[in-house]
A and B are shown apart, each in its own frame.
Chain A
């Protein structure tokens, strides 16, 4: 099975940088996803890591260390619209789309 830990809440200032950490303990691994979910809306895909290292996409970057069971999502130049929950999810190696989600980190961006 999978166990995923991430902070429940974070607060950051507009224009700043914030790092949201995710640790996982699994019996196997086949990729890690980050999703963004605004209140009352569907989760939307942000990033995917399957190999160690950093993936950069605009203001968002995601890092993975498989040996440490660790990932982070880095958000730069924070904007008010970045206030949302950020979900870390790990895909089970035993199934194509059996994905375990963390409980999510609620990020509040303040002026």
Chain B
């Protein structure tokens, strides 16, 4: 079974630009979550999508948005990039069973975004 695939692996952008990151979850997984990882803040939750609907959202500005397609693939968009957006962006998928289920998240290798 293929793992979580994120593309591209590396991106360099300049301030003010926008960027779109892609995530293909493990086959059969319907939940996709996005995280931002920086050395000072660790992993911070951005949002979670399930069945094409945003189910949870972290404390990030509206410049960060996402969507999920009918095949569970997800994209994340960041508009008007700032220097502070430089980070590793990780996507995680899970089978998202019932509320009390373990629902382990499996992570992709991430997209490293550098904003100049």
Contacts and interface: CB of A to CB of B under 8 A. Distances in A.
A, B from the same assembly: yes
B31 A97 contact: yes
A7 interface: no
A33 B102 CA distance: 9
A12 B75 CA distance: 40
Nearest to A1: B59
B102 A96 contact: no
Contact of B99 (A45, A96, A100): A96
Interface residues of A, number: 24
Given A96-B31, A96-B50, A103 B108 contact: no
Contacts of B109: 41-42
B104 A48 contact: yes
B21 interface: no
Interface in A10-34: 30-31, 33
- State which size class the interface on B falls in: 20 to 34
Closest 6 CB pairs of A and B: A103-B42, A101-B43, A42-B107, A95-B56, A98-B56, A97-B48
Given A31-B102, A42-B107, A92-B56, 5 more contacts: A45-B104, A96-B48, A102-B42, A103-B41, A104-B43
Interface of B: 4, 31, 33, 35, 41-45, 48, 50, 55-56, 58, 90, 94, 96, 99-100, 102-110
26 contacts: A31-B102, A33-B105, A41-B109, A42-B90, A43-B90, A45-B106, A48-B104, A50-B100, A87-B43, A95-B55, A95-B56, A96-B48, A96-B56, A96-B103, A97-B33, A97-B50, A97-B105, A98-B45, A98-B56, A98-B58, A100-B45, A101-B43, A101-B44, A101-B45, A103-B41, A104-B42
